[in-house]
Amino acid sequence: MPEAIALDNVGKTYGSVTALQNVTFRLEAGEWLALMGPSGSGKTTLVNLIGCLDQPTQGSVRIDGVEVSTFTRRQLTRFRAEKIGLIFQQFHLVPYLTAVENVMLAQHFHSLADEREARAALEQVGLGDRAEHLPAQLSGGEQQRVCIARALINDPRIILADEPTGNLDEANEAIVMDLLRAAHRAGRTIVMVTHDPDIAQLANRTLRLRHGRLEGSNTAELATLR
């Protein structure tokens, strides 16, 4: 399988805070990775680097074979819009835009806004009848499904989900996980941060961070890097 994500000796510091160090791993296209670790261990920092929202202070980040650690902000934004769908724990919907407008917002960076496509994406997550509603008129689970529609609208090869069910009840957790499962079946590569071992089980691989380092990053893992 072709490589989707490859990190080589990645480090990230914020001033005197070391958020990540010596992070090396490779993910093949179509893999589903669960990223675990205690609070503050660097999970979100790692997702932000893979998601082209931030850049490492050390090492190499290759996404779909492209080195992004030396990209300019503008290059990162464009690359992200084409390759990556982001799902956050805190939804990050624009409060004064309707569901369909929130989904169309993601399209703007990619191609001309296409309202019909955005509505179809909402239908796919079971929210076809809620397109005109504002985020405040939707439950947490519904808001997260709008986020998933927004993440999938550009047909990204890679989906990053940072604790996607962290703020959801069990029923909505099941719906969101079904949508991620479908994305995986469709061949997408998924990186999912979770604290829940049952949810991590759905992935085909688990990596754990501790104090900014990958646990058990052994020579077998390193040997598959190149």
Contact positions vs ligand ADP (CB under 6 A): 14, 17, 19, 37, 39-45
User: What is the layout of strands, in order, in the sheet containing 17-28?
Assistant: 17-28, 3-14, 58-63, 66-67
From the list Mg ion, ligand ADP, none, partner contacted by residue 41 (C-beta under 5 to 8 A by kind): ligand ADP
Rounded least distance, CB 47 to ligand ADP, Å: 8
Beta bridge partners of 84: 158
What would the two tokens of residue 58 be?
A: 């050390």
What would the two tokens of residue 166 be?
A: 């962290």
From the list Mg ion, ligand ADP, none, partner contacted by residue 59 (C-beta under 5 to 8 A by kind): none
Sign of CA dihedral 141, 120, 182, 79: negative
Rounded least distance, CB 208 to Mg ion, Å: 14
Rounded least distance, CB 163 to ligand ADP, Å: 8
From the list ligand ADP, Mg ion, none, partner contacted by residue 17 (C-beta under 5 to 8 A by kind): ligand ADP
3-state secondary structure (DSSP) of residue 110: coil
Rounded least distance, CB 199 to ligand ADP, Å: 16
* Greatest pairwise CA separation for the chain in angstroms: 52
Note whether 45 and 54 are within 8 A (CB).
Answer: yes
DSSP character at residue 153: T
Rounded least distance, CB 15 to ligand ADP, Å: 7
From the list ligand ADP, Mg ion, none, partner contacted by residue 39 (C-beta under 5 to 8 A by kind): ligand ADP
Which residue's CB atom is positioned nearest to Mg ion? 44
Closer residue to ligand ADP (CB): 30 or 40: 40
Pick the closest to residue 209 from 57, 50, 35, 56 (CA basis). Answer: 35
3-state secondary structure (DSSP) of residue 69: coil
Within 20-49, which residues bind Mg ion (CB under 5 A)? Answer: 43-44
From the list ligand ADP, Mg ion, none, partner contacted by residue 126 (C-beta under 5 to 8 A by kind): none
Residues of this chain that bind Mg ion (CB under 5 A): 43-44
